Amino acid sequence: MLVRLMIGESLREQDFAVIEAANAEEALTVLASATPIDLVLTDIQMPGTTNGIGLAHNIRRDYPHLKIVLTSAYAVSADERGAADAFIRKPFNLTEVMRQIRALIGV
């Protein structure tokens, strides 16, 4: 949760609108609302019954236009990385996270 709060605050400081979700189920609820979303940044390991890779697969199926960034401190296979547009290994540099996000959404 601390990492989520830190990244959320850093993105807000860069004038991004940020919606935080505690787990995949909450993220999917937000995505199903009328709220415009450009990108989902998710850790592979998170609370709940669906991990970040499962979330990424759900997003690809239902919201193919969304960009997805996966992050993890653990080794990730090429297949798992393929579920997303980008993978950032933890611990990460916030400047690199911002660069990746800007590149993916074209700002």
Higher local confidence (pLDDT), 2 or 22? 22
pLDDT tens per residue, range 9-66: 988 998 899 999 999 999 999 999 988 999 999 999 999 999 999 999 999 999 999 9
* Predicted local distance difference test score (pLDDT) of residue 81: 79
Domains identified in the chain and CATH numbers: 2-105 (3.40.50.2300)
Overall average pLDDT of the 71-77 stretch: 84
Report pTM. 0.89
**pLDDT confidence band for 1 (50 / 70 / 90):** low
* Predicted local distance difference test score (pLDDT) of residue 90: 86
Residues contacting residue 69 through CB under 8 Å, at least 6 positions apart: 39, 40, 41, 42, 84, 85, 86, 87, 88, 97, 100, 101, 104
* Predicted local distance difference test score (pLDDT) of residue 87: 92
- Whether the per-residue pLDDT at 104 is higher than 70: the answer is yes
pLDDT tens per residue, range 75-94: 877 787 788 999 988 888 88
